[in-house]
Amino acid sequence: MNLVLIRHGKSVWNLENKFTGWYDIELAPEGIIEAEKAASFLADNELKLDVCFTSYLQRANKTLEIILNHMPVKMVKDIEINKSWKLNERHYGALQGLNKDDTKNKYGEQKFFEWRRSYNIPPPILDEDSSMNPKKDPIYENENIDELPLTECLKDTYERVVPYWTSEIKPLILEKDVMIAAHGNSLRALCKFLFDIGDDDIVNLEIPTGNPLLINLDKSCKILSARYLDSSRAENLPKI
Protein backbone atom coordinates (compact mmCIF):
# COMPACT_ATOMS: atom_id res chain seq x y z
CA MET A 1 0.00 0.00 0.00
CA ASN A 2 1.42 3.34 -1.06
CA LEU A 3 1.38 6.59 0.88
CA VAL A 4 3.00 9.71 -0.58
CA LEU A 5 3.86 12.65 1.66
CA ILE A 6 4.87 15.94 0.09
CA ARG A 7 5.71 19.23 1.71
CA HIS A 8 4.56 22.19 -0.38
CA GLY A 9 7.06 23.90 -2.65
CA LYS A 10 8.95 26.93 -1.34
CA SER A 11 6.70 29.84 -0.49
CA VAL A 12 7.43 33.55 -0.70
CA TRP A 13 8.04 33.68 3.04
CA ASN A 14 10.28 30.61 2.96
CA LEU A 15 12.56 32.58 0.66
CA GLU A 16 12.27 35.69 2.85
CA ASN A 17 13.19 33.58 5.92
CA LYS A 18 10.01 34.47 7.80
CA PHE A 19 7.91 32.43 10.21
CA THR A 20 4.82 31.54 8.20
CA GLY A 21 2.60 29.22 10.23
CA TRP A 22 -1.08 29.74 9.38
CA TYR A 23 -0.49 32.90 7.36
CA ASP A 24 -1.82 32.08 3.90
CA ILE A 25 1.16 33.05 1.78
CA GLU A 26 1.49 31.98 -1.86
CA LEU A 27 4.08 29.77 -3.53
CA ALA A 28 7.23 31.38 -4.85
CA PRO A 29 8.16 30.76 -8.50
CA GLU A 30 10.77 28.28 -7.21
CA GLY A 31 8.02 26.44 -5.34
CA ILE A 32 5.97 26.13 -8.52
CA ILE A 33 8.95 24.55 -10.28
CA GLU A 34 9.41 22.14 -7.35
CA ALA A 35 5.79 21.04 -7.64
CA GLU A 36 6.14 20.48 -11.38
CA LYS A 37 9.24 18.36 -10.80
CA ALA A 38 7.40 16.39 -8.11
CA ALA A 39 4.74 15.50 -10.67
CA SER A 40 7.44 14.17 -12.98
CA PHE A 41 8.91 11.97 -10.27
CA LEU A 42 5.48 10.57 -9.39
CA ALA A 43 4.74 9.88 -13.04
CA ASP A 44 8.13 8.24 -13.61
CA ASN A 45 7.40 5.91 -10.69
CA GLU A 46 3.96 5.12 -12.15
CA LEU A 47 2.16 6.07 -8.95
CA LYS A 48 -1.55 6.20 -9.64
CA LEU A 49 -3.24 8.30 -6.97
CA ASP A 50 -6.75 7.61 -5.71
CA VAL A 51 -7.19 10.06 -2.82
CA CYS A 52 -5.39 13.25 -1.80
CA PHE A 53 -5.48 15.13 1.48
CA THR A 54 -4.31 18.69 2.00
CA SER A 55 -4.64 21.63 4.37
CA TYR A 56 -6.65 24.84 4.09
CA LEU A 57 -3.58 26.85 3.11
CA GLN A 58 -2.99 27.87 -0.49
CA ARG A 59 0.70 26.94 -0.67
CA ALA A 60 -0.22 23.30 -0.04
CA ASN A 61 -3.37 23.50 -2.19
CA LYS A 62 -1.44 25.00 -5.12
CA THR A 63 1.31 22.41 -4.83
CA LEU A 64 -1.29 19.66 -5.04
CA GLU A 65 -3.07 21.35 -7.94
CA ILE A 66 0.16 21.70 -9.94
CA ILE A 67 1.11 18.08 -9.32
CA LEU A 68 -2.26 16.75 -10.45
CA ASN A 69 -2.31 19.01 -13.52
CA HIS A 70 1.15 17.83 -14.60
CA MET A 71 0.59 14.10 -14.14
CA PRO A 72 -0.87 11.86 -16.87
CA VAL A 73 -4.67 11.91 -16.73
CA LYS A 74 -4.84 8.13 -16.32
CA MET A 75 -2.85 8.39 -13.08
CA VAL A 76 -5.16 10.90 -11.41
CA LYS A 77 -8.50 10.08 -13.02
CA ASP A 78 -11.50 10.37 -10.67
CA ILE A 79 -9.23 11.45 -7.83
CA GLU A 80 -10.83 12.46 -4.52
CA ILE A 81 -9.50 15.55 -2.70
CA ASN A 82 -10.09 16.27 0.98
CA LYS A 83 -9.12 19.43 2.86
CA SER A 84 -8.76 19.91 6.59
CA TRP A 85 -7.23 22.52 8.86
CA LYS A 86 -5.96 19.58 10.91
CA LEU A 87 -3.22 19.30 8.26
CA ASN A 88 -2.29 23.01 8.46
CA GLU A 89 1.23 24.06 9.32
CA ARG A 90 2.05 24.51 13.00
CA HIS A 91 0.71 27.84 14.24
CA TYR A 92 3.70 30.01 15.10
CA GLY A 93 1.74 32.40 17.28
CA ALA A 94 3.12 35.91 17.62
CA LEU A 95 6.20 34.93 15.58
CA GLN A 96 4.21 34.73 12.33
CA GLY A 97 5.54 37.23 9.82
CA LEU A 98 8.77 37.87 11.73
CA ASN A 99 12.17 37.36 10.16
CA LYS A 100 13.90 34.35 11.71
CA ASP A 101 17.34 35.94 11.91
CA ASP A 102 15.93 39.08 13.54
CA THR A 103 14.02 36.94 16.04
CA LYS A 104 17.15 34.95 16.91
CA ASN A 105 19.16 38.15 17.42
CA LYS A 106 16.46 39.66 19.64
CA TYR A 107 15.67 36.69 21.88
CA GLY A 108 18.86 34.63 21.71
CA GLU A 109 19.84 31.27 20.25
CA GLN A 110 18.33 29.14 23.04
CA LYS A 111 14.88 30.73 23.04
CA PHE A 112 14.83 30.77 19.23
CA PHE A 113 15.64 27.05 19.14
CA GLU A 114 12.96 26.24 21.73
CA TRP A 115 10.27 28.10 19.84
CA ARG A 116 11.29 26.75 16.45
CA ARG A 117 12.30 23.15 17.17
CA SER A 118 11.40 21.92 20.67
CA TYR A 119 8.61 19.37 20.88
CA ASN A 120 6.58 20.92 23.68
CA ILE A 121 7.42 24.64 24.00
CA PRO A 122 5.07 26.90 21.98
CA PRO A 123 5.99 30.40 20.77
CA PRO A 124 4.33 33.47 22.34
CA ILE A 125 0.58 33.48 21.75
CA LEU A 126 -0.90 35.56 18.94
CA ASP A 127 -2.96 38.52 20.10
CA GLU A 128 -6.72 37.89 19.77
CA ASP A 129 -7.05 41.23 17.95
CA SER A 130 -4.44 40.35 15.35
CA SER A 131 -5.53 40.32 11.72
CA MET A 132 -3.88 36.88 11.55
CA ASN A 133 -6.27 35.40 14.11
CA PRO A 134 -7.81 32.41 12.25
CA LYS A 135 -11.15 33.09 13.92
CA LYS A 136 -11.39 36.16 11.66
CA ASP A 137 -10.55 34.25 8.49
CA PRO A 138 -13.56 33.25 6.35
CA ILE A 139 -11.90 29.99 5.28
CA TYR A 140 -12.57 28.67 8.79
CA GLU A 141 -16.14 29.93 9.07
CA ASN A 142 -17.60 26.42 9.02
CA GLU A 143 -15.19 25.11 11.66
CA ASN A 144 -15.47 25.08 15.43
CA ILE A 145 -13.59 28.31 16.06
CA ASP A 146 -12.91 27.31 19.68
CA GLU A 147 -10.58 24.62 18.34
CA LEU A 148 -8.49 27.02 16.27
CA PRO A 149 -5.12 27.77 17.92
CA LEU A 150 -3.31 31.05 18.48
CA THR A 151 0.02 29.28 18.98
CA GLU A 152 1.26 25.69 18.84
CA CYS A 153 4.28 23.59 19.66
CA LEU A 154 4.91 20.43 17.64
CA LYS A 155 3.17 18.39 20.35
CA ASP A 156 -0.02 20.42 19.76
CA THR A 157 0.27 19.82 16.01
CA TYR A 158 0.79 16.09 16.62
CA GLU A 159 -2.37 16.00 18.73
CA ARG A 160 -4.52 17.22 15.83
CA VAL A 161 -2.71 15.52 12.92
CA VAL A 162 -2.53 11.98 14.30
CA PRO A 163 -6.23 11.67 15.24
CA TYR A 164 -7.10 12.97 11.77
CA TRP A 165 -4.80 10.36 10.26
CA THR A 166 -6.41 7.63 12.34
CA SER A 167 -10.02 8.57 11.65
CA GLU A 168 -9.93 9.91 8.08
CA ILE A 169 -6.82 8.73 6.24
CA LYS A 170 -5.77 5.36 7.64
CA PRO A 171 -9.07 3.59 6.75
CA LEU A 172 -8.56 4.51 3.08
CA ILE A 173 -4.96 3.28 2.96
CA LEU A 174 -6.18 -0.32 3.02
CA GLU A 175 -7.73 0.00 -0.42
CA LYS A 176 -6.40 3.14 -2.09
CA ASP A 177 -3.12 4.92 -2.85
CA VAL A 178 -3.04 8.17 -0.88
CA MET A 179 -1.05 11.41 -1.13
CA ILE A 180 -0.90 14.05 1.59
CA ALA A 181 0.21 17.51 0.44
CA ALA A 182 0.86 19.49 3.58
CA HIS A 183 3.54 21.36 5.52
CA GLY A 184 6.88 20.87 7.21
CA ASN A 185 5.54 20.54 10.73
CA SER A 186 2.25 18.76 10.07
CA LEU A 187 4.25 16.17 8.12
CA ARG A 188 6.91 16.03 10.85
CA ALA A 189 4.13 15.27 13.32
CA LEU A 190 2.78 12.48 11.13
CA CYS A 191 6.26 11.06 10.52
CA LYS A 192 6.89 11.11 14.27
CA PHE A 193 3.91 8.78 14.61
CA LEU A 194 4.55 6.57 11.58
CA PHE A 195 8.31 6.15 12.15
CA ASP A 196 7.94 6.07 15.96
CA ILE A 197 10.39 8.93 16.52
CA GLY A 198 11.09 10.00 20.09
CA ASP A 199 10.35 13.46 21.48
CA ASP A 200 14.04 14.37 21.65
CA ASP A 201 14.91 12.97 18.22
CA ILE A 202 12.13 14.65 16.24
CA VAL A 203 14.09 17.93 16.28
CA ASN A 204 16.53 16.34 13.82
CA LEU A 205 13.95 15.38 11.20
CA GLU A 206 14.08 17.64 8.14
CA ILE A 207 11.51 17.39 5.34
CA PRO A 208 12.55 18.97 2.02
CA THR A 209 10.11 21.09 0.06
CA GLY A 210 8.51 19.64 -3.06
CA ASN A 211 10.12 16.19 -2.81
CA PRO A 212 7.66 13.27 -2.69
CA LEU A 213 8.31 10.80 0.11
CA LEU A 214 7.02 7.38 -0.93
CA ILE A 215 6.13 5.12 1.99
CA ASN A 216 5.10 1.51 1.49
CA LEU A 217 2.89 0.15 4.28
CA ASP A 218 1.66 -3.26 5.31
CA LYS A 219 -1.97 -3.99 6.18
CA SER A 220 -1.49 -2.78 9.73
CA CYS A 221 0.01 0.48 8.41
CA LYS A 222 3.51 -0.37 9.58
CA ILE A 223 6.25 0.99 7.34
CA LEU A 224 7.93 -1.54 5.06
CA SER A 225 10.07 0.95 3.13
CA ALA A 226 10.41 4.69 2.59
CA ARG A 227 12.37 6.81 0.14
CA TYR A 228 12.40 10.28 -1.38
CA LEU A 229 11.74 10.13 -5.12
CA ASP A 230 14.23 12.92 -5.84
CA SER A 231 17.34 11.33 -4.38
CA SER A 232 19.41 14.44 -5.12
CA ARG A 233 17.43 16.38 -2.49
CA ALA A 234 16.71 13.58 -0.04
CA GLU A 235 17.03 14.04 3.71
CA ASN A 236 17.95 11.19 6.00
CA LEU A 237 15.00 9.15 7.20
CA PRO A 238 14.66 7.40 10.56
CA LYS A 239 15.50 3.71 10.67
CA ILE A 240 12.49 1.47 10.13
Active site residues per annotation:
8, 89
Sort strands 213-217 and 223-228 into parallel, antiparallel or unpaired: antiparallel
Ramachandran quadrant class, 189 (left: phi over 0; alpha: psi -120 to 50; beta: rest): alpha
Tell me which DSSP letter residue 61 carries: H
Q: Contact, 180 vs 52, CB < 8 A?
A: yes
d(CA 79, CA 121): 38
d(CA 159, CA 163): 7
> Of all helices (H) and strands (E), which one includes residue 68?
helix 58-70
